[in-house]
Amino acid sequence: MGAPPRNRSALLLATTLVVAVGAGLTVRHLFAAHSLGASVTPRASTQAAAGPETVLRVPHMPGGITLDGDTDDPGWISAPGPARTGDFLMPDGTPARPFSEVRLVWGDGYLYLALYAADEDIETRTTERDGPIWLDDEFRVVFSREGVEYAIEVSPKAVITDSMRVGDGKWDYTWNSGAHASVEIDGSVNDPKNIDEEWAIEMAVPFESLGMKGEPGESVGMSVTRCDTPKRSARVCTGWGEGESRGRLVLK
């Protein structure tokens, strides 16, 4: 299995980096409604309740994807479009603010995730892989299958901390998911004086590291948590696919 497409732009930490690329759709285009506080219901064709689980049917990508933090590649914008979690939820079931969402496609031996976070104050200090990202703004994606959980955490600097555990055992941080990530930021990191807007991660996770082949009909449990510390507010974590409505991905 080959490596994912090269990362064209490593850590983009300059202010206001969302730029329209030709006629393509950037992160801002794809998530504009949510940046304005609108609510979008997940497509019925990609998400449906199945007993105690919420099943997200992930399509095979219709084109190539380059990991650069932007989502204007054919693999994201061509029909039928990616699967979408829709709004993350608060513990009481209400839509979370700031807004968060994940979009997914698969192909070439990888599961591709676009993780979007509206964020007025982007904060992250961890710079080393497998560092304490859980102290920063972050996404935490947990996959589960056959009694094993695989956790991949990623920061606004596209730094990854990954771990795995069997059953209720301890998390093993020597496990390497082989995931690759890149970021696009609209704001200034670690500058509380400024009002930021958003950050987005493109991430490719090799199916092999999850014990999967990457074939239609395969499934894996998935939950996603986004933690953020808004200005003048306590840290809050919201998510998708957790609790009684736990999430499951099915490859289409």
- Inform me whether the pLDDT recorded for 152 exceeds 90: yes
Token pair in block for residue 22? 């030709």
Phi-psi region of 243 (alpha: psi -120 to 50; beta: other; left: phi over 0): left
Cis check for the bond before 216: say yes or no (omega within 30 of 0): no
- List the chain domain ranges: 49-251
What per-residue confidence (pLDDT) applies to 50? Answer: 44
What is the model's pTM?
0.79
Cβ within 8 Å of residue 252, ≥6 positions away: 57, 58, 59, 60, 216
User: Taking a C-beta distance cutoff of 8 angstroms, is the pair 26, 72 a contact?
Assistant: yes
Is 135 strand, coil or helix? helix
User: Taking a C-beta distance cutoff of 8 angstroms, is the pair 102, 224 a contact?
Assistant: yes
- Inform me whether the pLDDT recorded for 119 exceeds 50: yes
**Residue found by looking up tokens 């014990």 in the block:** 211
In angstroms, the CA 230 to CA 120 distance is 7
Task: Tell me which of 57-61, 63-67, 117-121, 148-152 is least confident.
Answer: 117-121
Query: Check: CATH 3.40.50.300 for 49-251?
Result: no
What per-residue confidence (pLDDT) applies to 122? Answer: 87
Give the mean pLDDT of 92-110: 93
For residue 137, the Cα-to-chain-centroid distance in whole angstroms is 13
In angstroms, the CA 20 to CA 24 distance is 7
What per-residue confidence (pLDDT) applies to 27? Answer: 45
Q: What is the pLDDT of residues 195-231, one digit of tens each?
A: 878 999 999 999 999 999 999 999 999 999 999 988 7
Other CB atoms within 10 Å distance of the CB of residue 129: 11
Cis check for the bond before 80: say yes or no (omega within 30 of 0): yes
- Inform me whether the pLDDT recorded for 250 exceeds 70: yes
What per-residue confidence (pLDDT) applies to 245? Answer: 77
- Inform me whether the pLDDT recorded for 237 exceeds 50: yes
- Inform me whether the pLDDT recorded for 39 exceeds 70: no
User: Taking a C-beta distance cutoff of 8 angstroms, is the pair 212, 148 a contact?
Assistant: no
- Letter for the amino acid at 108? D
- State how beta strands 160-166 and 180-186 pair: unpaired
- Inform me whether the pLDDT recorded for 132 exceeds 70: yes
